[in-house]
Amino acid sequence: EDKVVQSPLSLVVHEGDTVTLNCSYEVTNFRSLLWYKQEKKAPTFLFMLTSSGIEKKSGRLSSILDKKELFSILNITATQTGDSAVYLCAVKIRIKAAGNKLTFGGGTRVLVKP
Protein backbone atom coordinates (compact mmCIF):
# COMPACT_ATOMS: atom_id res chain seq x y z
CA GLU A 1 0.00 0.00 0.00
CA ASP A 2 1.32 3.44 -0.93
CA LYS A 3 2.11 5.64 2.06
CA VAL A 4 3.02 9.29 2.51
CA VAL A 5 3.83 10.39 6.06
CA GLN A 6 4.42 13.94 7.20
CA SER A 7 6.03 15.12 10.41
CA PRO A 8 5.59 16.82 12.73
CA LEU A 9 1.78 16.86 12.87
CA SER A 10 1.87 20.45 14.05
CA LEU A 11 4.24 23.06 15.37
CA VAL A 12 4.15 26.53 16.84
CA VAL A 13 6.95 29.00 16.20
CA HIS A 14 7.55 32.73 16.56
CA GLU A 15 8.09 35.16 13.75
CA GLY A 16 11.63 35.03 12.46
CA ASP A 17 12.14 31.37 13.33
CA THR A 18 13.05 28.73 10.73
CA VAL A 19 10.88 25.65 10.31
CA THR A 20 11.65 22.34 8.66
CA LEU A 21 8.85 20.06 7.56
CA ASN A 22 9.39 16.42 6.66
CA CYS A 23 7.68 14.14 4.19
CA SER A 24 8.62 10.48 3.81
CA TYR A 25 7.08 8.07 1.36
CA GLU A 26 6.85 4.42 0.46
CA VAL A 27 5.26 4.04 -2.95
CA THR A 28 5.58 2.02 -6.09
CA ASN A 29 6.21 3.79 -9.39
CA PHE A 30 7.25 7.17 -7.98
CA ARG A 31 7.00 10.03 -10.46
CA SER A 32 7.36 13.24 -8.45
CA LEU A 33 6.69 14.88 -5.09
CA LEU A 34 4.65 18.04 -4.63
CA TRP A 35 4.19 20.49 -1.78
CA TYR A 36 1.00 22.50 -1.25
CA LYS A 37 0.02 25.21 1.23
CA GLN A 38 -3.54 25.19 2.58
CA GLU A 39 -4.50 28.33 4.48
CA LYS A 40 -8.24 28.13 4.71
CA LYS A 41 -9.78 26.13 1.95
CA ALA A 42 -8.13 25.54 -1.42
CA PRO A 43 -4.55 24.23 -1.33
CA THR A 44 -2.15 26.23 -3.44
CA PHE A 45 0.84 24.76 -5.22
CA LEU A 46 4.34 25.43 -3.90
CA PHE A 47 6.86 23.06 -5.48
CA MET A 48 7.17 19.98 -7.61
CA LEU A 49 10.32 17.87 -7.17
CA THR A 50 11.42 15.18 -9.56
CA SER A 51 15.18 14.87 -9.18
CA SER A 52 17.21 14.09 -6.08
CA GLY A 53 19.45 16.70 -4.53
CA ILE A 54 18.26 19.71 -6.51
CA GLU A 55 16.91 22.42 -4.26
CA LYS A 56 13.90 24.40 -5.39
CA LYS A 57 13.54 27.88 -3.96
CA SER A 58 10.81 30.47 -3.88
CA GLY A 59 11.48 33.44 -1.63
CA ARG A 60 11.82 32.20 1.93
CA LEU A 61 10.65 28.70 1.04
CA SER A 62 12.86 25.93 -0.26
CA SER A 63 12.52 22.22 -0.76
CA ILE A 64 14.69 19.26 -1.63
CA LEU A 65 14.08 15.61 -2.47
CA ASP A 66 16.14 12.54 -1.55
CA LYS A 67 15.02 9.63 -3.72
CA LYS A 68 17.47 7.22 -2.11
CA GLU A 69 16.19 7.77 1.43
CA LEU A 70 12.64 8.46 0.18
CA PHE A 71 11.94 11.79 1.80
CA SER A 72 11.61 15.48 1.15
CA ILE A 73 12.10 18.56 3.30
CA LEU A 74 10.31 21.90 3.10
CA ASN A 75 12.13 24.78 4.80
CA ILE A 76 10.68 28.14 5.67
CA THR A 77 13.14 30.77 6.87
CA ALA A 78 12.39 34.04 8.66
CA THR A 79 8.79 32.92 9.22
CA GLN A 80 5.94 35.42 9.16
CA THR A 81 2.40 35.14 10.50
CA GLY A 82 1.23 34.73 6.90
CA ASP A 83 3.09 31.42 6.76
CA SER A 84 0.55 29.94 9.19
CA ALA A 85 -1.14 27.15 7.27
CA VAL A 86 -1.34 23.42 6.76
CA TYR A 87 1.43 22.20 4.50
CA LEU A 88 0.57 19.16 2.42
CA CYS A 89 2.98 16.79 0.74
CA ALA A 90 1.78 14.65 -2.17
CA VAL A 91 3.48 11.97 -4.22
CA LYS A 92 2.59 11.40 -7.84
CA ILE A 93 2.43 7.70 -8.64
CA ARG A 94 2.26 6.06 -12.02
CA ILE A 95 -0.69 3.70 -12.43
CA LYS A 96 -0.67 1.31 -15.37
CA ALA A 97 -3.42 2.02 -17.92
CA ALA A 98 -4.78 4.81 -15.75
CA GLY A 99 -2.06 7.44 -15.87
CA ASN A 100 -0.97 8.98 -12.60
CA LYS A 101 -2.53 9.80 -9.27
CA LEU A 102 -1.56 11.92 -6.29
CA THR A 103 -1.40 10.42 -2.80
CA PHE A 104 -1.35 13.00 0.00
CA GLY A 105 0.20 12.91 3.44
CA GLY A 106 -1.71 13.99 6.53
CA GLY A 107 -0.28 17.49 6.51
CA THR A 108 1.69 19.57 9.01
CA ARG A 109 -0.10 22.45 10.70
CA VAL A 110 2.20 25.44 11.24
CA LEU A 111 1.25 28.33 13.49
CA VAL A 112 3.51 31.37 13.47
CA LYS A 113 3.00 33.68 16.45
CA PRO A 114 3.88 37.38 16.31
Partner 1 sequence: DGGITQSPKYLFRKEGQNVTLSCEQNLNHDAMYWYRQDPGQGLRLIYYSQIVNDFQKGDIAEGYSVSREKKESFPLTVTSAQKNPTAFYLCASSIGFRGGSGANVLTFGAGSRLTVL
Binding to partner 1, residues 8-47 (CB under 8 A): 9, 31-32, 34, 36, 41-45
Answer whether 91's CB lies under 8 Å from 76's CB.
no
**Closest CB 26 distance from partner 1, rounded Å:** 15
Q: Which residues contact 69 (CB under 8 A, 6 or more apart)?
A: none
Dihedral of alpha carbons 68, 69, 71, 76, sign? negative
- Tell me whether residue 57 or residue 101 sits nearer to partner 1 (CB atom): 101
What is the binding site for partner 1 (CB under 8 A)?
Answer: 4, 6, 9, 31-32, 34, 36, 41-45, 48, 88, 90, 92, 94, 98-107, 109
